[in-house]
Amino acid sequence: MKKLLFLLPLLVFTACTSDQHPETEVALPADSIIPESQMILMLADAHTIEAALLVARNKGTNTTGLGDFYYAGLFKKYKVSKERYQKNIEFYRNDPDHYIQLYEEVNKELTKRERDFIKSIPN
């Protein structure tokens, strides 16, 4: 009986994860696609925002509304609406191999920023 209780959730999970559902492709007009070079910088900035919020929360700071404030600055900086940014995230995610390559560049950008920051600290 215990084996059956163990196998039942596994069978339900397996049944629910079939490949019968095609992925929905996100199509954007060419003039709505954020160029990769800009998207890399935006994603690096977004991850920096998330890190800043995490540090603030860990210090006990109330971050309510702070994320919205930072992201509003991000969208203003790149002259992109929140909706366009989110649609582009979906667009780039639609091709996982390309998305991985994009994030490799984001990682390089963040590493470069970290090196530049460390260099800027006076000894």
Judge whether 8 lies within some domain.
Answer: no
Single-letter residue type at 84: R
Closest of 119, 89, 112, 87 to residue 102, by C-alpha: 89
* Residue 71 counted as domain residue: yes
Percent of residues, the chain, with pLDDT higher than 70: 79
Domain limits for position 51: 34-120
Q: pLDDT of 40-61, one tens digit each?
A: 999 999 999 999 999 999 999 9
Is residue 100 in a domain?
yes
Contact 53, 74 (CB under 8 A): no
Q: Is residue 39 part of a domain?
A: yes
Residue 70 has pLDDT above 50, yes or no: yes
Q: How far apart are CA 122 and CA 114, in angstroms?
A: 15
**Within a domain: residue 112?**
yes
Provide mean pLDDT across the span 94-104. Answer: 96
> Would you say residue 87 lies in a domain?
yes
Q: Is residue 28 part of a domain?
A: no
What string of H, E and C letters represents the secondary structure of the chain?
A: CHHHHHHHHHHHHHHHCCCCCCCCCCCCCHHHCCCHHHHHHHHHHHHHHHHHHHHHHHCCCCCCCHHHHHHHHHHHHHCCCHHHHHHHHHHHHCCHHHHHHHHHHHHHHHHHHHHHHHHHCCC
Give dist(CA 6, CA 117) in Å, integer: 51
Q: How far apart are CA 12 and CA 99, in angstroms?
A: 31
Per residue in 21-36, pLDDT (tens digit) is: 445 566 778 889 999 9
Residue at 6 is within a domain: no
> What is the number of domains present in the chain?
1
